[in-house]
Amino acid sequence: MTSPGIRLLPLVATAMLASPLVHAYDAGDLILRAGVAVVDPQDSSGNVRVGATELDGWEVNVDSNRQLGLTASYLVSDHFGVGLLAATPFKHNISGDGAALNGAGKLAETKHLPPTLTLQYFPLASGSTVQPYLGIGVNYTNFFEEETTPTLTGALGADRSTIELDDSIGLAAELGVDIALDERFGFNAAIWWADIDTEATIKGYDSAGNLKATGKVDVDIDPLVYMLGFTYRF
């Protein structure tokens, strides 16, 4: 007479053999991820230009910001997918930098959305519970709700000032890993680099609304974006 335990063994063995297939990343799968995303600018600024004049040491820097990140991968084959990075709008302070403006404090702020589309490669077998991937693609960054501070308005000798940042389209690269906990849920960690270059146009107006001064500054924001979160596989 066989004990129930022994009769269960083949079932357990079958389940263990089958379990890698349960986690398989197959063509047609959709993987959604949500987590904390940090945009950490590795920025470098040119000098502020007024007309043809460069103001030496008048530079700016951009601080980092954390938001809810949402990403998705759609597997077009067992090893290739299309990835999308989305998030709630990031908000960054723009502060004075360089020999002349270092210590000037906050000059402006902006919000932006950096949707990033990548072609992703998943090198491991589709049954692996750990799925590293790398991707390359394009980032589009739209800046909006740009606002200046009284500090900037004062520095321009103006009564009112505006700042506007050009949209950016550039190369993006990513590295990530999904770790399956079960058939549906798992963890994700990912890092992106995006080439985000913008030109800021600063304008100062007098109390009658006449344009007094126009300045421009090129800023390479080129951020690293980090995300830690959960995955759900459909």
220 binding Ni ion? (CB under 5 A): yes
Tokens of 147: 């606002």
> What whole-number distance in Å separates Cα of residue 115 and Cα of residue 86?
5
CB of residue 200 to Ni ion, shortest distance in Å: 14
CB of residue 197 to Ni ion, shortest distance in Å: 4
Return the ∠ at Cα 179 (arms to 20 and 77), rounded to 5°. 65
Number of amino acids touching Ni ion (CB under 5 A): 4
Question: Which CB, 110 or 126, lies closer to Ni ion?
Answer: 110
Which residue minimizes CB distance to Ni ion? 220
Question: Which CB, 146 or 220, lies closer to Ni ion?
Answer: 220
> What whole-number distance in Å separates Cα of residue 84 and Cα of residue 32?
10
Q: Which residue has the tokens 């986690």?
A: 23
Residues 187-216 that bind Ni ion (CB under 5 A): 195, 197
Question: Which CB, 156 or 221, lies closer to Ni ion?
Answer: 221
CB of residue 82 to Ni ion, shortest distance in Å: 24
CB of residue 62 to Ni ion, shortest distance in Å: 12
Q: Which residue has the tokens 């269960």?
A: 8
CB of residue 127 to Ni ion, shortest distance in Å: 39
Tokens of 223: 């951020």
Question: Which CB, 80 or 193, lies closer to Ni ion?
Answer: 193
222 binding Ni ion? (CB under 5 A): yes
Nearest Cα residue to 72 out of 33, 26, 38, 37: 33
Question: Which CB, 63 or 199, lies closer to Ni ion?
Answer: 199
Instruction: Report strand pairing: 44-45 vs 48-50.
Output: unpaired
Contact between 5 and 209 under an 8 Å Cβ cutoff? The reply is no
Positions that interact with Ni ion (CB under 5 A): 195, 197, 220, 222
